Amino acid sequence: QMLSIHVASMRCACRLACTDDVTQQESLTRALTRLSRTFSAQMEALNRHRSNGACAITVQNLSVQDGGKAVVGHFTQHAGLIAAQPGLV
């Protein structure tokens, strides 16, 4: 499906680049916009499928001011609950 949308988008873009008719340009622009949005939605769905809906966030720098606390550990979220293996800094 994604390949078909991509091919259709490229053909539409090529036609758009080669036409001088304003009404045809508007029609091709609308079609190209819809195809591009469809492709983006398909990419998002594929990424969600590949990651099983999990978002990976990596924090590389952490600074805690005097008197502040930070929780350090691996966190996972399941069904709205956050389970952690924390260690206070």
Model pLDDT for residues 8-42, shown as the tens digit of each residue: 999 999 999 999 999 999 999 999 999 999 999 99
Domain that holds residue 10: 2-51
Question: Residue 19's CB: how many other CB atoms inside 10 A?
Answer: 13
Q: What is the pLDDT of residue 69?
A: 80
Please report how many Cα atoms fall inside a 13 Å half-sphere around the Cα of residue 42, on the Cβ side: 12
pLDDT band at residue 6, thresholds of 50, 70 and 90? very high
**Would 73 be classed as within a structural domain?**
no
Give the chain's mean pLDDT. 82
Rounded CA separation 42/46 (Å): 6
Total number of domains constituting the chain = 1
Q: Decide if 64 is inside a domain.
A: no
Check: CB of residue 54 under 8 Å from CB of residue 60. no
Token pair recorded at residue 88:
């206070």
In a domain, 74, yes or no: no
CA 21/CA 53 separation, integer angstroms: 45
Contact status, residue 71 vs residue 84, Cβ threshold 8 Å = yes
Let me know if residue 26 belongs to a domain.
yes
The residue among 14 and 55 whose pLDDT is bigger is: 14
**Does residue 69 sit within a domain?**
no
Q: Is 23 domain-assigned?
A: yes
Determine, yes or no, domain membership for 78: no
**Total-model pTM:** 0.57
Q: What does the block give as tokens for 47?
A: 């990424």
